[in-house]
Amino acid sequence: MSVSRRSVLKLAGGAGLALAAVPALTGCSATSELNPGELVSKAKLPAPFTVPLPFPTPTKPVATDAGRDRYTMALKAAEVEILPGYRTRIWGYEGTFPGPCLEARSGVPMVVSQTNQLTVPVVTHLHGGLTPPSDDGFPTDLVYPASLADMADPAKAAAMPGMPGMPAMNDPLAHTSAVERTYTFPMRQRAATLWYHDYRMDFTGAQVWKGLFGLCVVRDDEEAKLPLPHGERELPLLITDRAFDADGQLAYPSHDPTLLGKAGMAKSIMGGATGDDPCQRRAAAVRRGRGGAVSAAVRQRLQRPTL
């Protein structure tokens, strides 16, 4: 089955698939022993074809020196408009949803310095990147906020009383830090579309849901020689599922909304969930995975050749 670019964009618009604003929750397959629950938005959703589909603009590096592109990012809370008429509280790289779009060049290292201005630990992973362990953003390589800075010192952390939600695991190889961390991504890889995201142990899903993710496009000479759309005709798409409460806030049934207490979510959706999409409710087959996965219903719709 062949699908034209125009068909894909028409389908995206018809489904109300604004960039990173699809109101649905990813889940697991219909063969799971757990039946899918339901997580439906209570906010007023836009009618199809009424919200322009936004496309990410590559962020320029703050500096290029010694053959490296350098970027800086602050991970912080912000209010943004995802649904028309609502201001939604998010956690974002540079306070945006999604985070800045990075454009890397194969063979040119990318150095990303980040500051954690949130209230919870974070760690960034470049999904699909060929990155050495020291900079790969392992789930226990946490960057603690200023309010928990002492947790970055193993000796001080061991002497502190138990803190609900703080990592109880003892990882002697963890590379922890307080407030700031710099990642170096070698980018010794072919052209590809990647994404980066928070990877905190036990809280990845909830923190990505809040907005800690972004796009990274890798370019190389081989790609440049191909007859592919470029410039204004190249349209990067980043699709993700979300649900919203009556106030337009991101609805995620965490055991502890502060993400500093008990990890996990409501049992009712541990087997996945259907969301706002009528097609999704009919299909009832959804895929469970990391924050970047999309529902089977969304994939199904994007695969249709015509409306």
Question: Whole-angstrom Cα distance, residue 213 to residue 216?
Answer: 10
Is residue 17 scored above 60 in pLDDT? no
Interaxial angle between packed helices 5-14 and 296-303, expressed in degrees from 0 to 180 and rounded to the nearest 10: 140
Asked if residue 10 has pLDDT above 60, the reply is no
β-pair type (124-127, 273-274): unpaired
User: What is the model's pLDDT at position 20?
Assistant: 45
Which residues are CB-contacts of 239 (< 8 A; sequence separation ≥ 6)? 12, 17, 19, 20, 22, 294, 298
Instruction: Flag whether pLDDT at 113 surpasses 60.
Output: yes
Q: Which of 241, 299, 239 is nearest to 274 (CA)?
A: 241
- pLDDT, tens only, 226-277: 999 988 899 888 888 899 999 999 999 999 999 998 898 888 787 777 777 7
Contact 27, 295 (CB under 8 A): yes
Confidence of residue 154 (pLDDT cuts 50, 70, 90): confident
Among residues 133, 139, 233, 234, the alpha carbon closest in space to that of 191 is found at: 234
Query: What are the beta bridge partners of residue 250?
Result: 244
Over 50: is that where the pLDDT of 91 sits?
Answer: yes
Inform me whether the pLDDT recorded for 16 exceeds 50: no
Q: What is the pLDDT of residue 43?
A: 96
The pLDDT confidence band at residue 307, using thresholds 50, 70 and 90, is: very low
Q: Which residue has the tokens 């109300």?
A: 16
- pLDDT confidence of residue 241: 87
In the predicted model, what is the mean pLDDT of residues 216-228? 96
Amino acid sitting at position 274: T
pLDDT per position as a tens digit, 159-210: 665 555 454 556 888 999 999 999 999 999 999 999 999 999 999 999 999 9
CA dist., res. 183 & res. 119, Å (int) = 21
Residue 290 predicted with pLDDT over 60: no
Closest by alpha carbon to 19, among 66, 43, 54?
A: 54
- Select the more confidently predicted residue: 154 or 50: 50
Tell me the pLDDT of the chain averaged across its residues. Answer: 81
Residue with tokens 């972004």: 214
Q: Which of these, 272, 274, 186, 212, lies nearest to 75 by C-alpha position? A: 212
The pLDDT value recorded for residue 28 is 37
